[in-house]
């Protein structure tokens, strides 16, 4: 790079950062909104059914990342990766119920970076891993060192009164259950929104990093009946899978949480009820996020606050006959990510470039004039906020582990490649999908011929 190019790039970064950071006396606030098990079934992402007016409004004032990917399609590893900036192999959080501190006691998390530099760092709700519903209301795994204020609001969950029922056999792991309640009282997300608004009021005159973690649409699908009423059950479309869809999906892939394939044994009506529960829970979460966003606006804080909205991983709703998470296909790996930064020229636009959750940490650090720790493995996409059309990364990585099975996926501009390995037996297999011709990932090109060049290139990317 020439000296002229270096100066030009520095000038661009200075110009881009100036309206976002401001003077020390006007340090930017951060409102960090997380949703649990939320995929891209949002109106602003083009979903034809789901109603999410508040998130849509945020997207209209920020940058919506069309191709953002988590590093591990499971709550604990994904959240640890985003909040520490470390990929799962480095964080060593490769499953739920693991505390990253046992491996990295001196790590500085994203909220902790702000706390250490004079921001008031507060948490209401699920930010790191929390077992839902069993640990709702518990501070377990929420990393108290990261926060000045750390609260896990209580919620009734499966004990909520209302109309509903189970959609899979009692006792089955990861069972599907829905409950339509009279109102939002007693729900953790209602409490989280209320507490977050009180914190905004109390700390409006100082810089803050406020993390608000909603637990919907995670199972059980508990939401007020007014949100269920938005989705008449007979109008709910089902996932459309071609005949023989599973024939070219490797046996190793189908051994990862095998009870989640084949529609979990649900008939078509049960599938519609399950989708309805997910949609209603998503709209309920949207309503609570809207309350916090409205309060931020009314308090006059919006123009000095960077807002980040994210879902921790994708979630299958019957695509490829699979439900829930822990898949390396697009529906599990792709995540919603919206960033609204005051003064960013790209606000109101969609970014098509590949981004990863590990990029969130260095981005917020740069926007607020802080330095991310050396352990953070991502790259700042601050420049993309000024120009969403610019390319960003050539590849995004997602991985998983289940029993003896290891899967590693890479998403490039055109392809998704997945490599599987059974560490016990040494068995391997692979998948390759061409998104330019097959966005639903129905044809595994690794099973045929004529794609050796693409296979070699992507094998190299995942180290195989």
Catalytic residues: 75, 129
Tally of CB atoms within 10 A around 268? 11
Residue 69 φ then ψ, to 5°: -135, 140
Q: What is the DSSP letter of 405?
A: E
CA–CA separation, 236 and 240 (whole Å): 12
Contact at 8 Å (CB) between 401 and 256? Answer: no
Tally of CB atoms within 10 A around 452? 9
Contact at 8 Å (CB) between 212 and 199? Answer: no
H helices within 133-213, ranges in order? 188-202
Contact at 8 Å (CB) between 128 and 36? Answer: no
Burial of 427 (0-12, 13-18, 19+ CB in 10 A): middle
CA-CA-CA-CA torsion sign (257, 98, 136, 231): negative
Residue in the structure block whose two tokens are 């637990």: 215
CA–CA separation, 39 and 24 (whole Å): 37
Cis omega before residue 144 (within 30°)?
Answer: no
CA–CA separation, 458 and 45 (whole Å): 28
State both tokens at 63: 């940058």
CA–CA separation, 282 and 51 (whole Å): 8
> Please, which residues have CB within 8 angstroms of residue 22's CB and are 6 or more apart in sequence?
28, 304
CA–CA separation, 337 and 376 (whole Å): 19
């Amino acid at each position: 790079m020439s000296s002229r190019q270096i100066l030009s790039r520095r000038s661009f970064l200075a110009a881009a950062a100036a309206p976002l950071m401001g003077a020390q006396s006007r340090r930017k606030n951060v409102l960090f909104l997380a949703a649990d098990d939320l995929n891209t079934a949002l109106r602003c992402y083009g979903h034809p059914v789901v109603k999410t007016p508040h998130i849509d409004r945020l997207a209209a004032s920020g940058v919506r990342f069309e191709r953002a990917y988590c590093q591990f399609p499971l709550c604990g590893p994904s959240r640890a990766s985003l909040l520490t900036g470390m990929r799962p192999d480095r964080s060593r959080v490769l499953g739920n119920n693991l505390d990253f501190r046992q491996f990295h006691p001196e790590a500085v998390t994203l909220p902790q970076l702000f706390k250490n530099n004079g921001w008031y760092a507060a948490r209401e709700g699920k930010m790191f891993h929390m077992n839902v519903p069993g640990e709702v209301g518990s501070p377990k795994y929420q990393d108290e060192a990261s926060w000045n204020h750390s609260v896990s609001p209580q919620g009734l969950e499966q004990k909520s009164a209302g109309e509903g029922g189970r959609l899979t056999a009692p006792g089955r792991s990861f069972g599907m259950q829905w409950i339509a309640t009279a109102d939002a009282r007693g729900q953790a997300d209602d409490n989280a929104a209320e507490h977050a608004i009180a914190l905004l009021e109390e700390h409006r005159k100082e810089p803050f990093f406020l993390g608000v973690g909603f637990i919907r649409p995670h199972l059980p699908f508990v939401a007020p009946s007014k949100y269920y009423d938005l989705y008449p059950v007979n109008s709910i479309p089902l996932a459309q899978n071609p005949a023989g869809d599973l024939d070219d999906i490797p046996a190793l892939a189908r051994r990862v949480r095998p009870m989640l394939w084949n529609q979990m044994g649900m008939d078509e009506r049960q599938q519609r009820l399950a989708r309805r529960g997910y949609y209603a829970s998503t709209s309920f979460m949207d309503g609570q996020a809207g309350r916090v966003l409205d309060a931020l606006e009314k308090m006059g804080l919006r123009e000095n606050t960077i807002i980040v909205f994210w879902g921790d991983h994708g979630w299958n709703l019957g695509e490829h006959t699979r439900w829930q998470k822990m898949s390396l296909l697009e529906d599990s790996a792709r995540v919603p990510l919206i960033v609204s930064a005051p003064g960013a020229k790209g606000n109101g636009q969609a970014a098509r470039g590949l981004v990863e959750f590990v990029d969130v940490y260095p981005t917020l650090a740069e926007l607020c004039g802080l330095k991310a720790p050396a352990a953070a493995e991502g790259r700042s996409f601050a420049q993309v906020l000024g120009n969403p059309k610019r390319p960003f990364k050539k590849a995004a990585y997602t991985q998983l582990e289940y029993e003896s099975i290891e899967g590693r996926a890479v998403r490039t501009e055109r392809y998704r490649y997945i490599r599987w390995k059974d560490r016990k037996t040494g068995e391997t297999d692979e998948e390759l999908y061409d998104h330019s011709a097959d966005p639903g990932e129905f044809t595994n090109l690794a099973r045929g011929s004529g794609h050796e060049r693409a296979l070699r290139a992507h094998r190299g990317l995942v180290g195989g």
